[in-house]
Amino acid sequence: MGTGASRNPDSSSHGSEEREDQAGGQLYVSLKMENCKLKEELAPHVYGSVPLVGSWDSSKALPMERESTSMWELSFVVPPNHETLDFKFLLKPKYSNGPCLVEEGPNRQLTGGTLQGDRPSATFKLSDDAVLEYRVFIKADRVSPFDLAASWRAYQENFQPSSVRGIPDVSINSAAEASNENGSSASLELDLEHYVVPAPTTSANSGLVYAANMTETPRSLSRRGVFSKTDGSSGALHYQRDTGVSVDRPDLTPMEVTVPDAAKISSGSGLVESKSVGTFSPVQKQEGHRGLFVDRGVGSPRLVKSASATTFFVDLKLDSESKNSMPAAAGAVAAAAVADQMLGPKEDRHLAIVLVGLPARGKTFTAAKLTRYLRWLGHDTKHFNVGKYRRLKHGVNQSADFFRGDNPEGLEARNEVAALAMEDMISWMQEGGQVGIFDATNSTRKRRNMLMKMAEGKCKIIFLETLCNDRQIIERNIRLKVQQSPDYAEEPDFEAGYHDFKVRLENYEKVYEPVDEGSYIKMIDMVSGHGGQIQVNNISGYLPGRIVFFLVNTHLTPRPILLTRHGESLDNVRGRIGGDSVISDSGELYAKKLANFVEKRLKNERAASIWTSTLQRTILTASPIVGFPKIQWRALDEINAGVCDGMTYEEIKKNMPEEYESRKKDKLRYRYPRGESYLDVIQRLEPVIIELERQRAPVVVISHQAVLRALYAYFADRPLKEVPHIEMPLHTIIEIQMGVTGVQEKRYKLM
C-alpha cells in the first residue's frame, strides 16, 4: 500500500524554488476528524508518505490530538520540496495490541496544496456489517508565517465545534446533574488550610496597613529640613496626651521620610514617533518633525498632521513612571486625555479631589480606593494625607485639644501642614501629575477657601464630602482608628485613646460646615453598599464623570473575591497561546478540586456567583461547580493575540522576530497585530472591576493569565508596568478579601 516518499515532480527545478521564494511561505496542512459518538477505545491517527511520517508503518502513525469532545486534529507545515503527500486515517486500539482499522478507499492525496478527489468522510469497517464514519476536514494553504498564525485561528473558529457553545450566558447547574456528569467531586476531600501557600511579598495586603501610611511621603517637609536640627528634635508642637510613655522620640518611622526625586521634574516635551503600541509619546521636541503620530499598535506608526499639534505637545504626560515614552493608557483614557489637552482649559488638565468630612467617616479608605482605581486605569494619581504631614511635623501625640476650633496655635499648625501638603500636590502636578487626592477633614469653609486660592490657575478642585449618619459604622471606624492610627500607637490604654478620639471628634463637629460651594460630590451613607445617596454639583468632564460612577458603585462591605485561571488546557500543554481549546486531563482534575474548594469555602455564604470568560477552557473549568449562578463575560476572555493566536512563543520568535522583540521591550503597551495589548485588556476590564466593587456577595472569577494579571494588579495596587510580569500560576486560587480597611490576600495551590 502507498508509494512511500512522494516528491513534487518540479521540486528540484530552479523555477519551483523561485515560486516558493516569491510566495514566501510554506504549505500548512490541517487534518481534522469528527465523530459525535466517539468510540473512546479507538484513537484516531494519520499515517502516510514522507514527510508526514516517513513510513506507511502503522506503528509509526501520528496520533491526532483531541480538540474537543468530538473533534481530533493534526496540523503541520510541509517542508519545502515535499509538496505531494499521500496519507490515510487510521484508528488504533488504545488499550490492546489489536489490529489498527485503516480507512476504506484509496489513499488521500494532496498535491501542491490541492486535495485530489472529494471525500468528506472517513469510513472504517468494524465488521462485515458495521462501519464507523467520521467527518473529515482537510485544508492546505500556502501561507506566509504571518498568515500561518491567522489561518490557524480561522480553522479554530470555523471548524472546531465547541462542546460548550450551547451553554447560555447565565446558567446554574444543580447538584444532582453535576455529580452524574462529573463523577463524585465531593469525594475529593479538601482541608482548605492544607493548600495555603505564601502570597508574594508585594501582595494585596493593604488591609493590614494603616491606609494613611501608604499615602505620599511629605517631600516639602523633608526638603525644609524638619529633621535636621542638631539636637535631633523635630520642632514638634506638643499637645501631648498623658500616655505615661515618653514621647521624646523621632516623630516617624523611617518609611515615612524620603527625599524628592529631582529627576521627576519634566523638561519641555514633544511627540515623536514611537514603535509598538500606545497613542502619543511625550518626548523631546524635534524641530521640523512635528506631528501627531497615531500608532496602529505595531510596526511603523502613521503620521497624522495636526494643525494644533504644537499646542498639546506641552504637558502631555500621563505616565510619570516612564518619561519619554507613551502614556500608560489606552482607549477611552487616552482619548479623553488627548481631548482635554486640545480643548480644555489648562488648569483642567490637573484635578484635585479634596476630601471633606468629620473624622471616622471613611475618608482615607475612600481616598485610597479611588487612588488605586485611577492609577490602574492609567491616570497618574497620588494620595496626599495631611495627617501624615502633621505627624511628620508635630509628632504623633497631639491630644484632642490640639484639634479645638478655638485653639489658635493648633489651628495655625493644622493649616500650615495642610498648606504644605497642598503645595507638594501642586508641585507634583506641575511636573505632570494628573490627579491629586487631598485627604484631610477640610471641614470649614475658611480652610477650603485657602485651598481654592492655592489651586487657582493650577488645578481644578472637586470636593468629595463623605457624610455618615449610621452610628454603628461611625463606632466601628472610631475603634479602627484607635487600633490602627499612628496617633494612638503609643497609647497603651485603648479606652483612653477611644475617649481622646471622641473628644477630638466633638471638637470637629462644633465647627463643621458642610460643602455647598464650588464643584462637589457628596456621598451620604454610601459605605455599606445598600441605599445611601450621592449628590453632585457642577461636575462635568470625562474624569469627574468616571469618578462619580466609581463612587456610586463602590462600598466597604467585606466579602471575598476568588481569582483563578482555568484548568490546564490542551493549548497550555502544546505551548500555544490563545485559542479556544478544551481542558486536559489534569485541567479536568483541577476543575473538580476547584468545585470542591468553592463548595467548602463558600458554604456559609448566602449568595455567590461564578464568572467565566466565553472561552471553553474557563466554562469547562466551572462546569463541576454546582448551585451557584454562572455568568459568561466576554470581557474576561484572554488577551487577543491577533495574528499570533495559536502560535507558540518559539514560533513567534522564529517567524516574527520583530514582533517578538517589540513585545519583549514593552510588554505593557505592545499590541499584537490585529490583537490587543495589556493596556487594551485593562480598558475592557473596567466594567468587570466596577461590578466587582458593586457586588456585595462573593465572586469566583475563572479567567486567563493576562486578564487575571490585570485584575490582580487592581486589588494589589501594583504599578501598570509590572502587570504583564505578575506571576499567575495554573491550578492556584488567589483569594482577595475585600475589607473595610483595604484588601488582604490568601493563596491556595490545589495541585
Binding footprint of ligand F6P on the chain (CB under 6 A): 572, 577-578, 638-639, 641, 704-706, 724
Residues in the chain: 751
638 classed as catalytic: yes
Could you give the 3-state DSSP secondary structure of residue 15? helix
| The dihedral sign for the CA sequence 530, 531, 532, 534 | positive
Q: Which of 566, 568, 571, 745 is catalytic?
A: 566
Q: Which residue, chain included where needed, has cell 468587570?
A: 688
Residues near 423 by beta carbon (within 8 Å), at least 6 away in sequence:
220, 454
In the bound complex, what is the minimum distance in angstroms from residue 574's beta carbon to ligand F6P? 10
Q: CA-to-CA distance for 626 and 597, rounded, in angstroms?
A: 12
Nearer to ligand F6P, 46 or 682 (CB): 682
Q: Which is nearer to ligand F6P, 283 or 706 (CB)?
A: 706
- Is 410 within 8 Å of 403 (Cβ atoms)? yes
Contact 635, 680 (CB under 8 A): no
CA angle 101, 582, 607 (to 5 degrees): 145
Between 139 and 565, name the residue whose CB sits nearer to ligand F6P: 565
Name which of 465 and 651 has its Cβ closer to ligand F6P.
651
726, 659 Cβ separation under 8 angstroms: no
Secondary element (H or E) of residue 701: strand 699-703
Measured in whole angstroms, the distance separating CA 362 from the mean position of its chain's CA atoms is: 26
Closer to ligand F6P at the Cβ: 125 or 664? 664
Neighbouring C-beta atoms of residue 138, cutoff 10 Å: 16
Question: Shortest gap between Cβ of 206 and ligand F6P (angstroms)?
Answer: 25
CB of 415 to ligand F6P, least distance (A): 49
* 460-467 and 351-356 beta bridge pairing: parallel
Q: Report the residue number, 108 or 704, with the smaller CB distance to ligand F6P.
A: 704
Three-class secondary structure of residue 372 per DSSP: helix
Rounded least distance, CB 706 to ligand F6P, Å: 4
Known catalytic residue: 585? no
- Here the cell at position 469 is 449618619
Closest CA to 146 of 639, 641, 579: 641
Q: Among 350, 468, 555, 651, which one carries the catalytic annotation?
A: 468
**Minimum distance from residue 705 beta carbon to ligand F6P (Å):** 4
From 380, 424, 439, 659, the catalytic residue:
439
Q: What's the Rg (C-alpha) of the chain?
A: 32
Residue closer to ligand F6P (CB basis): 639 or 688: 639
Torsion sign across C-alpha atoms 551, 554, 556, 557: positive
Catalytic residue of the set 638, 651, 686, 735: 638
Please state, in angstroms and as integers, the Cα–Cα distance from residue 609 to each residue in 602, 638, 701, following that order. 10, 20, 9
Question: Nearer Cβ to ligand F6P, position 217 or 572?
Answer: 572
Task: For 182-210, give the DSSP string.
Answer: H--GGGS---GGGGEEPPPTT-S-GGGS-
Q: Nearest approach, Cβ of 326 to ligand F6P (angstroms)? A: 18
Q: Return d(Cα 121, Cα 137) in angstroms, integer.
A: 8
Distance of alpha carbon 174 from alpha carbon 180, whole angstroms: 10
Query: Helix, strand, coil proportions of the chain in percent (round to 5)?
Result: 35, 20, 40
Q: Which is nearer to ligand F6P, 78 or 706 (CB)?
A: 706
Burial-class residue 430 by CB neighbours within 10 Å (0-12, 13-18, 19+): middle
Q: List CB contacts of 104: < 8 A, sequence separation 6 or more.
A: 122, 123, 124, 125, 131
Smallest distance, Å, CB 674 to ligand F6P? 14
CB of 254 to ligand F6P, least distance (A): 36
Minimum Å gap between C-beta 685 and ligand F6P is: 14
List residues with catalytic annotation.
439, 468, 566, 638
